Amino acid sequence: MSARGVALLALCLTLEACGGGGGNFAGNNPAPPSGGLTPSVPTPAVPIRVETFLSGTGFVSALAFAPDGRLFYCELQTGRVRVVQNGTLLAQPFVTLPVNSNGELGLLGMAFDPSFAANRFVYFFHTHPSPLRNRIVRYVDQSSVGVTEAVIVDNLPATTNHNGGRIKFGSDGMLYVTIGDNLDPANSQNPASISGKVLRYNSNGTIPLTNPLPANPMFALGLRNPFGIAFHPVNGTPYVSENGPNCDDELNRIVLSGNYGWRPNYPCGDTSTQFIAPIARFNPVIAPTGITFYTGTVFPEWRNHLFLVSFNDATLRRFAVDEANSGNVLEQQSIASGQASNYLDVAVGTDGNIYIATDVSILRIVRQ
């Protein structure tokens, strides 16, 4: 087996461990979502075509479009950030970050500053190898090359499993971060631990005064291995994908101080009213990864719908959510399945098409 094959196998095996007894990320077990669905008049069928936008990539962990239309993507295991401009992959990486890529570690998250057009700031979440820890760094975009590194948040916990690692700016201008429980469910219920949480920082890494606890980055708690994060286009409510043990992968609508129920001795199918229930559960587990809301014009039928990709079954799922009713799911559809072994992220391009990061390529969904 090639070195790359060995690395991917190691990744799959360690991510399977994050799923507890049954495995979470590894395998190829297509499964429709269950729970949290309310029947509605379905969206008319939309003719689509799935095409390969870029092949031969490294293991792409995150996608993001700059306001000027350039596509930036992260390679999980090499630490390289690449830029595609006018359909052409630039030869020089934007930056190459030092990474420990064991298990779920590596270069995991990316976000553009809300004032990017003026300040040219781009942020990354990566696992620094020495000493081992996660951190968030910021670079200035200078003609598609990152210069002037600034460490925004350092010494975030890092373990090979339940690592989290996505970052995104909310409509409030603050930086949100997903962090796993670091293999200890008790962390998720402990406000003094930043593990098992959604965190919120100011763009310079300081802690907002409006967070639930003073001098604490916690925004919400009770999560096991949250990964993808996106914000509703109308009112800015955050939504997060959550990886369960051998049951109950989830899609959660996140509210300030919300507790989402992961804890020691968690019961599958948890119905406790002490915690906020997910808007959708997935059984068997699918390993949900990246999420985004559709805000383009190519697919007006899908305006403000939530899209989620999954690692286990390489599927893109569409959810029509009723944000006015606590994110109740009105409709769901599975599309673009099986185009690669694993899907890691999804983004809406400035051209209105939908882009998917896979283990070997970047896909594009266009209107047929």
pLDDT value for 58? 87
**329: which DSSP letter?**
E
The Cα 12–Cα 314 span in angstroms is: 13
Rounded to 10 degrees, the C-alpha dihedral 273/15/102/107 comes to -70
Residue 127 CA to its chain's centroid (Å):
16
Length of the chain: 368
pLDDT tens across 200-227, in order?
A: 999 999 999 999 999 999 999 999 999 9
Nearest Cα residue to 256 out of 200, 323, 185, 328: 200
The Cα 66–Cα 143 span in angstroms is: 12
Vertex 308, ends 195 and 15: CA angle to 5°? 50
State the pLDDT confidence band at 25, using cuts at 50, 70 and 90.
Answer: very low
- Helix ranges restricted to H, 30-110: none
pLDDT at 26 over 90: no
pLDDT value for 41? 57
The Cα 28–Cα 315 span in angstroms is: 10
- Helix ranges restricted to H, 98-236: 116-119, 185-188
pLDDT at 1 over 90: no
The Cα 114–Cα 123 span in angstroms is: 11
**36: which DSSP letter?**
S
Tokens 């955050």 locate to 238
Own/partner long-range contacts of 121-126 (Cβ < 8 Å, ≥24 apart): 121/203, 122/72, 122/94, 122/146, 123/152, 123/167, 123/175, 124/74, 124/81, 124/95, 124/97, 124/167, 125/165, 125/166, 125/167, 125/177, 126/79, 126/97, 126/98, 126/99
Nearest Cα residue to 314 out of 334, 340, 335: 340
The Cα 263–Cα 190 span in angstroms is: 10
**Domains of the chain by start residue, with CATH:** 3-310 (2.120.10.30)
> Please, what is the average pLDDT of the chain?
90
Give the tokens for residue 6: 């060995």
pLDDT tens across 264-287, in order?
A: 999 999 999 999 999 999 999 999
pLDDT at 118 over 80: yes
pLDDT value for 263? 98
The Cα 57–Cα 54 span in angstroms is: 7
